A and B are shown apart, each in its own frame.
Chain A
Amino acid sequence: KQEVTQIPAALSVPEGENLVLNCSFTDSAIYNLQWFRQDPGKGLTSLLLIQSSQREQTSGRLNASLDKSSGRSTLYIAASQPGDSATYLCAVPTQGGSEKLVFGKGTKLTVNP
């Protein structure tokens, strides 16, 4: 059974700092991995999708890496801003190429001005 763990559960940093969020999964036979952002009481916004054949994806100040063999992914946020404050979730398919997603509990990020 696929399980996803995110560390840390919460993170508070001053504005401008670079930071790394971690995600680990138990079944490495994944098709892809997604990082999402969730603002309080809101739905999810897809940030980055990494296919299993890729090692990283970049979008603006965000960079996500994927190491399938070790079952890990990281989300790097450069030059953090108060507007980055949100909960960041990673998700992987329940198995193989399934479209059903298993989510981690998320990392709640607070960027202080």
Chain B
Amino acid sequence: GAVVSQHPSWVICKSGTSVKIECRSLDFQATTMFWYRQFPKQSLMLMATSNEGSKATYEQGVEKDKFLINHASLTLSTLTVTSAHPEDSSFYICSARDGGTVGETQYFGPGTRLLVL
């Protein structure tokens, strides 16, 4: 099946620094990718939809200036957590759909665990 990778798999940073997380579709092209956040013992919450060649669309309550998303190519989307704070510590997961048909399976990356000290 289709593979989505994320890098890094985990990162520890100091409060106030920025962290970039990459999401790549390895064997397919993804015009749309999704970024989710998962807090401990909670479910995944959609943060934003990343669209290749255009601006991302953010869910209500998600600060677009804090979580910068860039979808520069059909196989790469990046999420940058700017001026990270301890409350941003979470598990970030991206997903992508293989193909042009709405309703097909989304493939998820392995996630990136962020710890802000």
Chain A residues with CB under 8 Å of chain B are 4, 31-32, 34, 36, 41-46, 49, 51, 89, 91, 94, 97, 99-106
Contact = CB atoms under 8 A, between A and B. Distances in A.
Interface residues of B, number: 28
B75 interface: no
B32 interface: yes
A51 B103 contact: yes
Interface in B47-80: 49, 59
Interface string B15-50: 000000000000000001010000001111110010
A46 B34 contact: no
Interface of B: 1, 4, 6, 32, 34, 41-46, 49, 59, 91, 93, 95, 97, 102-111, 113
B112 to A, nearest CB: 9
A29 B18 CA distance: 40
A100 B34 contact: yes
A103 B38 CA distance: 11
Contact of B108 (A46, A100, A102, A106): A46
Given A42-B111, A89-B43, A100-B34, A32 B103 contact: yes
A100 B49 contact: yes
B75 to A, nearest CB: 17
A102 B34 CA distance: 12
A102 B59 CA distance: 12
Given A43-B93, A99-B34, A104 B103 contact: no
Contact of B43 (A32, A41, A45, A103): A103
Contacts of B107: 46
B105 A49 contact: yes
Contacts of A104: 43
Contacts of B104: 49
13 contacts: A4-B43, A34-B106, A41-B91, A42-B111, A43-B4, A45-B108, A49-B105, A97-B102, A97-B103, A99-B34, A100-B34, A101-B44, A101-B95
